[in-house]
Amino acid sequence: MHEMSLCEGIRRVVDRAASDPGIARVTRVRLEIGRFAGVEKPALEFAWEVVMRGSKAEGAALEMIDLPGRALCYDCMETVEIEHRLDPCPNCGGGKLMPDGGDEMRIKDMEVI
């Protein structure tokens, strides 16, 4: 389950960002997760609860924002949204697509008090 190690990395970033003495705790963290990132959201939610124990983010809400899969179609030269990596172009039906988005996962922002 690589979601546990993902959460450990997120905790390091959150701990660093919340290290200011004026921050009592983190109340919410918003993640942007691409369609092709390979993240199992239920496993990430479970890992979140376990990994954040004892940190300023313990009990913080985890909000996951879905990002679409994107690809450049070499047939019509348009950037399009796709559901699956091997989908044809939704505009022209072409099959020469180069994925260029949707595999990212990043912290968008976090709320602190």
Fold entry, domain 1-68+102-112: hypothetical protein PF0899 fold (3.30.2320)
**DSSP symbols for 41-69:** HHHHHHHHHHHTTTSTTTT-EEEEEEE-E
* Rounded Cα–Cα distance for residues 67 and 41 (Å): 13
pLDDT in tens, 43-69: 999 999 999 999 999 999 999 999 999
Residue numbers in the known binding site for Ni(2+) are 2
- pLDDT for 13: 98
What's 6's DSSP letter?
H
99: left (phi over 0), alpha (psi -120 to 50) or beta: beta
The mean per-residue pLDDT over the stretch 74-103 comes to 97
The yes-or-no verdict on residue 1 having pLDDT over 70 is no
- pLDDT for 17: 97
Residue numbers in the known binding site for Zn(2+) are 73, 76, 89, 92
The mean per-residue pLDDT over the stretch 84-111 comes to 97
Residue numbers in the known binding site are 2, 73, 76, 89, 92
Enumerate the domain spans of the chain: 1-68+102-112
Helix-helix angle 41-51:2-17, to 10 degrees? 50
